A and B are shown apart, each in its own frame.
Chain A
Amino acid sequence: MSDILAVVDHRRGELRDVSYELISAGRGLADATGGDLHLAVISGTVERFAEKLDREGVDAIYTVDYGEEFNHGVYTQVTTQLYDKLAPQYVLTANSVNGIEYAPAVATELDLPIVTDAIDLEADDKTLTVTREIYGGKVETTVELEGPAICTIRTAEWPGGEGTGTADIEAFEATIDEDALGSSVRGFEEVGGGDVDIADADVLVSVGRGIDDEENLELIEDLADALGATISASRPVVDSGWLPKNRQVGQSGTVVTPDVYIAVGISGAVQHVAGMKGSDTIVAINTDPNAPIMDIADYAIQDDLFAVVPALIEEFQ
């Protein structure tokens, strides 16, 4: 009972980056517990995936060739069966949209405690210590538990596993109870296309919930005009219908890497930052000194956007 089982993520024929990050997170834990790191690859072109995943520190890879795409029922059944076979101390999955669709079910099935969205993991002989964020990243907490557990890791927190490994790759004969599969995927659709592609912009003025009211967007339009910049937004502005979906920056929107990204009234939640952290220069205008964006930014103005933005427009007139 000291091994680690990490279940990787893939979609539409591609392993997602977090799969390699699961290798580093898993290896780190396995070093602490003195156990082996097992990976599981479920559905899709599993052999091709397994070869790619055979990186330094992986001891064994189990493949389950069943179906093409993620199905939470299949993932839940396979993960519980692998758990019964391997008796690992900890099970790791990605805290992705698919990860959070089966990890909690596995926890219920196996009666294991679950901790989601880990940003750091530490273990000793008996205790798992998990660091996670609350209040949109303004506060950090650690939680502890004893005994086996399942944990989902935040994407882009661990480096991707590297090198070439010598893992045993083995087909795992899972028994899928098809009658128990109560959902089926009919297809996928790309959304959020339209007139502009914010990914092409050199300068983005990005507006968040701090703008408070649809009417105030005029101020942001004036700023964008003055700078010759493109307007983008955080999710709440799009959810409210104030700007179209193709303006949304983030995990479920567009990933942007402009020369300059000016975040106006945006707190910098992890799902937003996933879409803009690669920007060359980040400027934040925010009243809250503890907002995570104030840390991510290269330059910050801790003040009321309704005072700063008009002054900035003035500079260019």
Chain B
Amino acid sequence: MKILLAVTEVATVDDAFEIEGTEIPDQYLGTDLNEWDEYAIEEAVQLQEADIAAEVVTVTIGPETCEQTIRQALATGADRAIRIWDEAFEAVDLLDVSTKTAILRAVVAEEEPDLVLSGVQSDDDSWGATGVALAAAVDYEWAAVVNHLAHDFEDGTASVRRELEGGVEELTTVDLPAVLTIQTGINEPRYASLRGIRQAKRKPLEVYGLADLGLEESVAESRVRLTAMSEPERESDTTVWEGTPEEAAGELADLLRKREVVQ
């Protein structure tokens, strides 16, 4: 079986930051591999170790700077990586779900994977929609918020559990080929070994633009536009205990005694 892993680098924001227009200046931002993707990668690697997956290919939409993050996936075991970027993306501040779907659809058409794994959502802007939108676009079956994937794949199906709200899991059978969006906690992501990190440097990483995928530049023009960014208004009446840790702890202790939580 061939697995396509859709992974993304996410932005992280410092405790103290500022907003300028519809952007947070770079100085307040960091980057990380999307938390959900770590679990999707581990799931693919386990299928590879079980000799179920013959090839694991990652695909990422992102600028050159995210290659370092992509290499993390390669270091844990993925065989090769595809990165999609285009000058046309530089001019827009949001790639909406339709745009990402159109791009990934072209990659799926080229790679013809049996299984596409992605995270449930990206940690930074939490759209949580691309995996399912992609499945419909490429006519694959799908399941969202998967927290267990059985390894037997009988009769061309995958047997999964979906994590619903309130501690309930749904047991579902999904026809292959399929897109699964992976939930955190499905496995225990491993750390890349030093050997893995060395090998990752030599693994192929291909870069394509829109034209390479046979797509028009207009794909970059999302129908959804980002128009404002702000810090949420604080309307609450939170009492903030100031002072040294000891003083603040003293205030909390007084409250707990007053509430007769502890004597």
Contacts and interface: CB of A to CB of B under 8 A. Distances in A.
A176 to B, nearest CB: 16
A260 B224 contact: no
B202 interface: no
A259 B259 CA distance: 9
Contact of A145 (B15, B125, B141, B223): B223
30 contacts: A97-B164, A101-B142, A101-B145, A105-B142, A113-B98, A117-B126, A129-B227, A132-B126, A135-B13, A141-B22, A143-B94, A143-B227, A144-B225, A144-B227, A147-B223, A149-B223, A182-B175, A188-B170, A188-B171, A189-B169, A226-B262, A227-B261, A241-B188, A260-B259, A297-B236, A298-B239, A301-B251, A303-B248, A304-B245, A315-B249
B208 interface: no
Nearest to A137: B232
Interface string B205-247: 0000000000000000011111111111010101111000110
Contacts of B152: none
A311 B249 contact: yes
Interface string B1-34: 0000000000111011101001010000000000
B262 A100 contact: no
A138 interface: yes
Contacts of B249: 301, 308-309, 311-312, 314-315
Interface stretch (A46-54, A158-166, A249-257): A249-257
B137 A183 contact: no
B171 A141 contact: no
Contacts of A10: none
Contacts of B22: 141
B174 A281 contact: no
A227 B166 contact: no
A111 B223 CA distance: 11
Nearest to B176: A182
Interface stretch (B53-61, B69-77, B106-114, B128-136): B128-136
Interface string A7-26: 00001100010000000000
Contact of B136 (A108, A140, A141): A108
A283 B175 CA distance: 47
Interface in B82-139: 94, 96-98, 101, 123-137
Question: Looking at chain B, what size class is its interface with the partner chain?
Answer: 35 or more
A113 B19 CA distance: 26
B96 A113 contact: yes
B224 A190 contact: no
Q: Which label, helix, strand, loop or mixed, suits the secondary structure of the A interface?
A: mixed
B262 to A, nearest CB: 5
A316 B236 CA distance: 30
Nearest to A313: B249
Given A105-B136, A202-B261, A300 B253 contact: no
Interface in A202-249: 202-203, 226-229, 235-236, 238-241, 245
Interface residues of A, number: 100
Interface of A: 11-12, 16, 72, 76, 95-98, 100-105, 107-109, 111, 113-117, 129, 132-147, 149, 182-192, 202-203, 226-229, 235-236, 238-241, 245, 251-255, 259-260, 262, 281, 283, 287-290, 292, 294-304, 307-309, 311-312, 314-316
A188 to B, nearest CB: 6
B32 to A, nearest CB: 12
A309 B162 CA distance: 37
Given A108-B137, A188-B169, A301-B252, A141 B228 contact: yes
Given A104-B132, A105-B132, A191-B168, A140 B245 contact: no
Interface string B173-185: 1110010000011
B227 A76 contact: no
A103 to B, nearest CB: 7
8 shortest A-B CB distances, which residue pairs?
A182-B141, A311-B249, A239-B185, A307-B245, A104-B133, A315-B253, A108-B136, A105-B136
Given A105-B132, A294-B238, 7 more contacts: A101-B145, A103-B132, A185-B171, A188-B164, A202-B261, A227-B262, A299-B238
A226 B241 CA distance: 21
Contacts of B250: 311, 315
A283 to B, nearest CB: 6
B167 A190 contact: yes
The winner among A98, A139, A147, A229 for most chain B CB atoms within 10 A is A139
Contacts of A259: 259, 261
A140 B248 CA distance: 30
A252 B169 CA distance: 9
B221 to A, nearest CB: 11
Contacts of A113: 96-98, 222-224
A149 B227 CA distance: 17
B238 A300 contact: yes
Given A102-B132, A311-B249, A252 B142 contact: no
Nearest to B185: A239
A183 B175 contact: yes
Given A105-B135, A107-B97, A186-B173, A299 B145 contact: no
